[in-house]
Amino acid sequence: MEKAALLRSISCSTLACNRFLFRSSNRLSRSSASFSSSVSRSHHRSFGTLTRRSVLRRHWRLLPASSIPSTRCFSSLAPKAIATSPEQASPDFVSTEDDFAEKYGFEKVSEQFIQECKSKAVLYKHKKTGAEVMSVSNDDENKVFGVVFRTPPKDSTGIPHILEHSVLCGSRKYPLKEPFVELLKGSLHTFLNAFTYPDRTCYPVASTNTKDFYNLVDVYLDAVFFPKCVEDFQTFQQEGWHYELNNPSEDISYKGVVFNEMKGVYSQPDNILGRTAQQALFPDNTYGVDSGGDPNVIPKLTFEEFKEFHQKYYHPGNARIWFYGDDDPNERLRILSEYLDLFDTSPASRESRVEPQKLFSKPVRIVEKYPAGEGGDLKKKHMVCLNWVLSDKPLDLETELALGFLDHLMLGTPASPLRKILLESGLGEAIVGGGMEDDLLQPQFSIGLKGVSDDDIPKVEELVMTTLKSLAEEGFDSEAVEASMNTIEFSLRENNTGSFPRGLSLMLRSIGKWIYDMDPFEPLKYEKPLMDLKARIAEEGSKAVFSPLIEKYILNNPHRVTVEMQPDPEKASRDEAAEREILKKVKAGMTEEDLAELARATQELRLKQETPDPPEALKSVPGLSLLDIPKEPIHVPTEIGVINDVKVLQHNLFTNDVLYTEIVFDMSSLKQDLLPLVPLFCKQSALLVQLLAIIAQGQNLNHCYSHHLQLILPKLNLNFTFLYCFVGSIVLVNFLIVGSQSLMEMGTKELDFVQLNQLIGRKTGGISVYPFTSSVRGKEDPCRHIIVRGKAMAGHAGDLFNLVNCILQEVQFTDQQRFKQFVSQSKARMESRLRGSGHGIAAARMDAKLNTAGWIAEQMGGVSYLEFLQALEKKVDQDWIGISSSLEEIRKSLLSRKGCLINMTSEGKNLTNSEKYVSKFLDLLPSSSPVEKTTWNARFSSENEAIVVPTQVNYVGKATNIYDTGYQLKGSAYVISKYISNTWLWDRVRVSGGAYGGFCDFDTYSGVFSFLSYRDPNLLKTLDIYDGTGDFLRQLEMDDDTLTKAIIGTIGDVDSYQLPDAKGYSSLLRYLLGVTEEERRKRREEILSTSLKDFKEFADVIEAAKHKGVVVAVASQDDVDAANKEHPNFFQVKKAL
């Protein structure tokens, strides 16, 4: 259910748009999943990361908060207090506001009107503590609060990360085990999480309901300033690490949520590469260690060090506090004063400053090993990445802006020269490195390849340097510069952050400067610097602007670290053996009394974890009542018309003059054996980009660890499983999104693919193409479509539809070598996904065993797809003519007016004006499909399956179709499944079991109810927990308050905040899946009337999973062997890597 946000945020912006809007962030989050919780600078450093970074990096970074001592004035970069424009504040109003500030102990430092976001922003300083507060007021109902502390670690024990998890485990006013989880269960939050970066920790919340918003703010303020964890050793053990011993005769093991999270991080080659690069680039400051924690070092952390870290850095004087939205700005100060007034001054803001890394006098080279599978040619599995620190001093605004554009020009699109040349070289399979990153104190640039032959490592290094030198000498063509400029400018003006709150996006931008004692207003204002850069390019030429940057900051910069990663099939087993040896020595050093005490402590901790909070403690958490909940579902205006015999859905919504459109084609004529080629006919990119945006504001999960992966986990099933908010309800949909590859990277007769990409960048805000599949409740045949998504300013609607027609009908499938690159890139991406998103792989495989739509999706994004790619890579050289013909056959079977559907979202006048372009577009389509409709009725056998990969953690799934039991859908199922995730599975799989996350999903279209875990140290034990769900529901006792919270939390998912494009898109999906307004109202009524009886009755339904469920686990060889030893032949084993 937490996946609701996913589809809401999927926009069709191009890779470039997403690079700009969703900046990279170095953070770790407390969730249990984007995704995507993370790692050091290395998390997702493959090219997927490149697509998610901002072009104007400095505007979009997620950085830690630092405070300025009360004895210091605000940074000299910040202007003195400035009155807003007259229309924003009258003198009387300003005076009243100043009086309020004075009353609550604040002084105004500066006030500005930010035209770009139509907001009044006031910077305050708390006189007593020095805490700084940015209060941003506007008419946005999606209110945002955040408190950020600068938290630089001195070692890799993971203190900041463990503390970020722990402070949300109970506080002074809210003495529960985890008030955070209670907020998940029963609030209307539109964002609720926490993140750890290499040098700061961030605690943001958001809600459209004012009462709910202030409840969230109070819980978070109490959590960070007065947490129970600093006096509770068991919380430290649970979230950080502890020795576990169930019986003195057994072996000791390590447990801890963060410990297992980081074992997962350190199992992924791209993460290891990024971590190695960051630490080598910054050997002398805090970035030279891992704030998330190295699993080999985490057990060295003591409880005393943990407490001291909180006392030192979690002080108002070391805080940056942000408010945004349409709530009362005076109330914000009143709330804060109640907490801040309890503190005195502190030296924390001085002690937490990050010292810059001095630049090297000569380059450095590092060689590391990474755990690799035994399959394939290991000689071709090397990775190499060149990394630079660009400066040891802060860059001026103009330079930062120009570097951002330069990054986009070099790497932002498939046609960008550095990216294109590296991929076309044939030296590697996929790009690694984050390009330009400025989300830390000092900007960096990284680029390289993976899937490289050991003999070709020097060639890759030479190619990077010669290409950069060539770009410095020759510059960029004017069309590329124009396309880049339009892409960036469109993204800025559209300000489409998907489901990620706009106020949080602005906060993260501002903190990027604020945290380093610089002007927090500057990153919010892009208009003037953008215009100045455009003018400079027009006057001097792009070469005069960009070539000196390449030369100064990259080519002539000796602060370069080259990292080579070598595959080692023995590394994973060596690491596990080393850990066992350490634990063996620990046990050998214990007496019998020590062992008995450890076993007792283990049981005591587990008992605490599994014992519910008392009712009086639960009541301390503020909540809403059902009277606060609207009775009707959110209405999206929809008019259904016909143009040229094709249905057209129109949604008259304010979009700031942007036209959003979806063109839907029927995929039912496609031959079954062509399905695995569809992702290459299109190609995955758009979803990954948008998904991570949801996880954290376009937040690259680089450098970041998320507190609550439970929020992200469901959204990380990148291959196929996604949620769609229908009744407001969220249902699991077998849904594969891919960004167009062959269609948009092959070129036409008139345009090569570079020219085509540039034209798209100059005229539109992006175009993407992807398949959409789902079961349809009550029907045998699945929903199966290809969707083309596009957006442009309304004045370019004609260009948008012309370009879509060009992509669909004129692209030629003739470039054999380019197509082979697509195959290699896709294979590398799937291999990475197997390790990092194993729960998604497991979910897809289970769905493929239970329904046709799941089988279709798995063919296009699961293990079957990886196997297809491995064979296809060889086949391209053997039968290119046959493959090219198959791609053409896919096109012919899809493109037809028959079964076509158009969806458009914009203001009414724009919709009307666009109809003529729609008519012309449809006239150019074939009137009927030459291929007969085919029947796909396939699925895998239902045996339990283990997919073996080199990993230190597991992803465990179990699923069944509950409609087969005779269950009839009721809205209460949404409440129940969410409650199971946030109670039973959270407590047993995560808290007690030590996994980073555990949750369940109910696909109301197919009837598949599934359980999944993420970065899980267990396998069979987790399956036992799944099987105990029925008994949990039968024995459940629930008072009215608890039930009300469960219902309200579900409505929060159902009514998740959506921007206009997402509203129009959700309406389209409801139409495709046959969800009527009447059904939406019915389900909502059922949700609101859910009773304890519904929970008890669902227990019998869920028993089907226990007795008839299919199991799929992505796991290590050792754990699978142990499971099959305990239960002979329990798993069929498939080695995937």
Amino acid at 567: P
Helices of type H across 942-1012: 972-980
CA torsion sign for 275, 280, 282, 285 is positive
Query: Tokens at residue 380, please?
Result: 């071709």
Do 335 and 303 contact (CB within 8 A), yes or no?
A: no
| Cα–Cα distance for residue pair 692/678, rounded to 1 Å | 23
- DSSP assignment string, 845-883: HHHHHH-HHHHHHHHTTSHHHHHHHHHHHHHHHH-HHHH
* Geometric angle at alpha carbon 769, from 6 and 832, rounded to 5°: 65
How many C-beta atoms surround the C-beta of residue 877 within 10 A?
A: 10
Cβ proximity of 75 and 40 under 8 Å = no
Q: Is 236 exposed, middle or buried (0-12, 13-18, 19+ CB in 10 A)?
A: buried
Q: For residue 371, give both structure tokens.
A: 């755990």
CB 155 within 8 A of CB 162: no
Instruction: Please say if 308 is a catalytic residue.
Output: no
Tell me if 352 sits within 8 A of 201, measured CB to CB.
Answer: no
What DSSP line would sit under 813-835, residue for residue?
A: ---HHHHHHHHHHHHHHHHHHHH
- The pair of three-digit structure tokens given for residue 28, joined into one six-digit string: 């770790």
DSSP state, residue 326: S
Rounded CA-CA distance 304/1052 in Å is 39
Element (H, E) at 714: none
- Give how far Cα 926 sits from Cα of 243, 470, 1025, Å: 67, 45, 54
Tell me if 743 sits within 8 A of 769, measured CB to CB. Answer: yes
Which residue among 2, 111, 132, 164 is the active-site one?
Answer: 164
> Please, where are the H alpha helices in 551-649?
571-588, 592-610, 615-618
Q: Which residues of 576-604 are buried (b: 16+ CB within 10 A; e: fewer)?
A: beebeeebeebbeebeeeebeebbebbee
Task: Please spell the DSSP secondary structure of 172-199, one letter per residue.
Answer: SS--SS-HHHHHHHH--EEEE--EE-SS
**Distance between CA atoms of residues 1084 and 1051, nearest Å:** 8
Q: Where are the beta strands (DSSP E) in 349-506?
A: 364-371, 382-389, 430-437, 444-452
Name residue 783's beta-bridge partners.
Answer: 774
Cβ contact 50:448 at 8 Å: no
**Pairwise CA distance, residues 516 & 276, whole Å:** 25
Asked if 797 contacts 659 with a C-beta cutoff of 8 angstroms, the reply is: yes
| Residue pair 417/410 in contact by the 8 Å Cβ criterion | yes
- 234: number of Cβ within 10 Å: 16
Q: Is 164 a catalytic residue?
A: yes
Task: Kindly state the tokens that stand for 367.
Answer: 């060689």
Tell me which of 182, 239, 400, 745 is the catalytic residue.
Answer: 239
CA separation for the pair 670, 676 (Å, rounded) = 11
What DSSP character marks residue 46?
A: B
Q: How far apart are the C-alpha atoms of 814 and 817, rounded to whole Å?
A: 9
Indicate which residues carry an active-site annotation: 164, 239
